[in-house]
A and B are shown apart, each in its own frame.
Chain A
């Protein structure tokens, strides 16, 4: 069976634990071949988990020429590994960085590229290569694609598979990549880390509770409610543009696309650009004081009311029930 390369790096390690999207990628990789994790940095803290989720091999790539630069060196690492291993596919996480690495890799290897896959399955006859599913046009269509050329390069969105354990050998192989000077021309010269909210990651969460302009800038009710049901917090662009929430929390066309089990929109009108980021959620709930708000067209359940009274009351009731 061919190898399937899965890019993971130190950013996949959150509080010393391998992130859920990485485990999802390994789970998907097993459908297509033998997963090989490509770990940039020291894989030691992650080895056990990577093997538990099916990594047969772990390529340990020294990070001296990679960290502090942008995506170009990582694309070179992958291209060199593709050449050496002729994998059945390369899987990457679907963030801004993953997509750019994938784009460069596709150019370097003359390969087909699919971004933001929400499902990846082996081809029917096995030999055909993977079949991907994407959600397009603001979630109004789903599209299945296949590859005709090169090594399939696929970026996969979080929550596209349920991580399943299946022990692999986890054999570590040091890999020394040659990084060109040109790849190091773009430099990260400053970084202000955002302080962790302690809440689930927006794109990975099973429940997302968002607030919009209707919060009037006070997110307390939204956050309190989110915490009572273990949800991540999101925001509309209006809330982000007003400076109430950082851009990383924005849901929509130019923010994050989320597809949780439950999405609760509070004080959000439901503009098409916002819908683009949330309308594939399984269950949608809205609280809005305007009965005519377009968000009510897509809800499973809606409350016409003031979020500043409805949410605290709901939070209190949930807390009471939990005892």
Chain B
């Protein structure tokens, strides 16, 4: 099975994330990395490939120069090849144009069966790119899987996911090719091994521009965005309140007093 796994290079979510002057996410001033939620997608892609005898896992990212780090990490984890779409015109793209560029890049990766995504990027966290990508590629989307399995023969392979929804746990399936996304419930991602790190150095990475994909630069980037950020406001930090130490039941009393004063009871 041939799989394309989409990963995003994001500002570290444990660092102080902020906006730059043009009100886009500051990607330069904050350390970046492979979105940790996309590691789960890489893991599931590698496991899917291992079910068969043949197959290639291509890691794909759309992002700035530094996003090459994300590709490298995925190659170290075990992906076979990398594609990095980088073009100054892409900066500031919204989900609409990001999905456009991703779709064209997926089309250019020859013969794929599954496009595997993370559940959401840790910066924009919209969780919409997989559905948009499926819409553009004209294939079914199986999203937010907590487990993934395949069945069927070479003629018609079915991908099936389990999804833990709000009111039910569902089983959802479709015949390949499909776009899928997996959650952090799908199983811990592997760490790159020393062997993996060494092997990654020899793995092929292609760098594509918009021109390579035949995408008109007018259709992407900040100037083409269908939504614009008008203003951002940092929420004032919460001021630490009163903390009491429970001694022989005093904590419960104080808690009830607090809730009562605030009219919660």
Chain A positions near chain B (C-beta within 8 angstroms) = 11, 70-72, 75, 95-96, 99-104, 106-108, 110-116, 131, 135-150, 182, 185-194, 207, 228-229, 237, 246-248, 253-254, 261-262, 272, 279-280, 283-285, 287, 291, 296-306, 309-311, 313-314, 316-318, 321-322
Residues of chain B with a CB closer than 8 A to A100's CB: 127-128, 130-131, 141, 143
- Out of A145, A185, A285, which one reaches B140, CB within 8 Å? A185
Known: A108-B135, A194-B167. Contact between A303 and B254, CB under 8 A?
A: yes
Report how far A306 CA is from B13 CA in the complex, Å: 31
- Out of A106, A140, A142, A316, which one reaches B226, CB within 8 Å? A106
Report how far A107 CA is from B129 CA in the complex, Å: 10
Whether B265 contacts A138 by the Cβ 8 Å rule is no
Whether B255 contacts A301 by the Cβ 8 Å rule is yes
Question: Other than the known A71-B131, A143-B233, what 5 A-B pairs have Cβ atoms closer than 8 Å?
Answer: A100-B130, A279-B238, A303-B244, A310-B252, A321-B260
Known: A248-B164, A301-B241, A305-B245. Contact between A272 and B13, CB under 8 A?
A: yes
- Closest A residue, CB atoms, query B23: A143
Report how far A189 CA is from B128 CA in the complex, Å: 23
Known: A96-B143, A103-B128. Contact between A229 and B264, CB under 8 A?
A: yes
Report how far A137 CA is from B19 CA in the complex, Å: 10
Residues of chain A with a CB closer than 8 A to B184's CB: 237, 254
Report how far A136 CA is from B95 CA in the complex, Å: 15
| Nearest CB in chain A: distance from B54 CB, A | 25
- Closest B residue, CB atoms, query A320: B256
- Out of B127, B165, B246, which one reaches A115, CB within 8 Å? B127
Whether A303 contacts B240 by the Cβ 8 Å rule is no
- Closest A residue, CB atoms, query B138: A182
- Contact of B17 with A by CB under 8 A: yes
- Closest B residue, CB atoms, query A315: B252
Whether B245 contacts A291 by the Cβ 8 Å rule is yes
Report how far A147 CA is from B225 CA in the complex, Å: 9
Whether A247 contacts B164 by the Cβ 8 Å rule is yes
Within 8 A of A (CB), among B22-65: 37
- Contact of B2 with A by CB under 8 A: no
Whether A253 contacts B167 by the Cβ 8 Å rule is no
Within 8 A of A (CB), among B210-239: 225-235, 238
Task: List 11 A–B pairs whose Cβ atoms lie within 8 Å, in order of A's numbering.
Answer: A96-B143, A102-B128, A106-B128, A112-B96, A148-B226, A149-B226, A185-B174, A189-B173, A261-B264, A309-B249, A309-B252
- Out of B131, B139, B242, which one reaches A302, CB within 8 Å? B242
Within 8 A of A (CB), among B125-151: 125-132, 134-136, 138-144, 146
| Nearest CB in chain A: distance from B172 CB, A | 6
Within 8 A of A (CB), among B144-179: 144, 146, 160, 164-175, 178
